[in-house]
Structure 1
Amino acid sequence: MTTFVLIPGAACDAWHWHLLERELRARGRDVVSVDLPCGDDAAGLDEYADTVAEAVAGRGRLVLVAHSFAGFTAPLVCERVPVDLLVLVAAMVPLPGEEPREWWRATGHPDSRVRRAARDAQRAGAGPAAEDVPESAVPGSAADPFFQDLPPELAAEAAGRWRRQSGTPAARPWPMAAWPEVPTRFLLCRQDRLFPAPFLRSVVAERLGMAPDEMPGGHFPMLSRPAELAGRLEGYSRPAAR
């Protein structure tokens, strides 16, 4: 049986996947939602990848689903366990030797405020590090770069679930020499305010040499559109669809 392995972004945990996990399980799918040691200053990307590998030990037919900052972690997992498919959802795409905190500048992220806040948060070891919320943003409001398409109660809970994110993973170069030889799909969200669609189209084309798939929604489709995202993942997991 295929196992969907859900890897959270910076300062997030398994809760941020809970609606998607419920949807996948209702469809009879096996799911592992991983909590990373994001608050541990001794843990870097290798430790994050080790945590995922340990969580899926002994399972077959793995589909890794990586959100946002997890784009730096998921490829490392592919070196540790056999992976059938890697799905990047609104994710960062690294280059060999690139420090995550430098990714914003290197990719030419269009919003200087977001770029500066992310860099400063990562250097300070604050949360939510790779995805820092501007102080003026109220969860679910027009200024919110994360949860603008969620119901107010869910947006507030999602924001309240941010964990402390150590800056350690952001300060170490991405250790892989090349992207893993694993089938890869990229799914961007057209209303994403953190990683705008035109920006991600360019990043994916330049760094992965492919065109991303697209769906409606903001940066957290696992909370705003779990049924649609589950359908996408099921489609990706079918061998004929690759």
Structure 2
Amino acid sequence: MTRFVLVAGAWLGAWAWDEVVPVLRAAGHDVHAVTLSGLAEKSDVPAGQQTHVRDIVDHVERHDLRDVVLVGHSYSGIPVGQASERIGDRLRRVVFVDSNVPVDGRSFLAGFASDHVRQALDANGGVWPPLPPADYAGQELTDEQIGRIVGEGTPHPGATLTEPAVLQGPLGELPATYVKCLMDGDEPMPAVAGLLGSDRWELVRLDTGHWPMFSRPRELARILDEAARKD
């Protein structure tokens, strides 16, 4: 039995996977959706990026999970990528869902044009507020889905975005699947493109927006199930 550990991106908690979890369980998998510190029901817990790495590693070790597929969406690809190294032979595969990937010594904000995020952090006491509804247009989301993301989303702790990643080895050596959501851009970001040159990485394209756990939960679950079955 594969053990999935699902980690959603900025502003989101374990609740973001509500429509994916039952599909994976019906396929026979053990599924754990994790809320990171500083978000959702853990919104009162102080957090930096390494806190999030420990959240993931601690969950795997506390539950003695093995044959683990770690799944990181968006921002969470950065702590998930680091945690994948740290759980050692417990890891079966890591899946990055339209996500950032960690680069040793670089922060989340170093990975793209981030002036608007830095301005938001400065204007909001060091947290990144959820995006306004208009920013979710063109991502194959219903008004109800957008309302849930915005309404249940939590301001994201800024230190997780500004602290540098710490890698123990080349990320390209991990067995990995990268899911590129095409409505959020046709091509992976440069850091991802470089890793896809590894024979241990594969690219899967999904014709939906940046939040496929809402827009295409069954298709995303199928991709995750297929990734778990790879050698």
Q: Same fold (TM over 0.5)?
A: yes
- Quick one: which amino acid aligns to residue 73 of structure 2? H
Residue 89 (structure 2) pairs with residue 89 (structure 1): no
1:171 CA displacement:
1.8
The 3-state SS of whatever aligns with 2:20 is helix
Structure 1 segments unaligned to the other structure (5+ residues): 106-114
Structure 1 length-normalised TM: 0.81
The 3-state SS of whatever aligns with 2:165 is coil
Counterpart residue number, 2:52: 48
Counterpart residue number, 1:197: 186
The 3-state SS of whatever aligns with 2:91 is coil
Q: Which of 226, 231, 237 is equivalent to 2:217?
A: 226
Change (3 A) 1:41 1:54: closer
Q: 1:35, 1:75 → 2: CA distance?
A: 16
Counterpart residue number, 2:178: 186
Name the Cα RMSD after superposition: 2.2
Change (3 A) 1:151 1:116: same
Q: Is the 8 A contact 2:178 2:203 kept in 1?
A: yes
Structure 2 segments unaligned to the other structure (5+ residues): none
Q: 2:177, 2:192 → 1: CA distance?
A: 10
The 3-state SS of whatever aligns with 1:159 is helix
Q: Which moved more, 1:74-83 or 1:91-100?
A: 74-83
Change (3 A) 1:25 1:41: closer
Q: Which moved more, 1:149-158 or 1:229-238?
A: 149-158
Q: Which of 41, 48, 71 is equivalent to 1:65?
A: 71
- Quick one: which amino acid aligns to residue 121 of structure 1? A
Q: 1:83, 1:122 → 2: CA distance?
A: 34
- Quick one: which amino acid aligns to residue 189 of structure 1? C
Q: Is the 8 A contact 2:139 2:183 kept in 1?
A: no
Structure 2 length-normalised TM: 0.84
Change (3 A) 1:177 1:208: farther
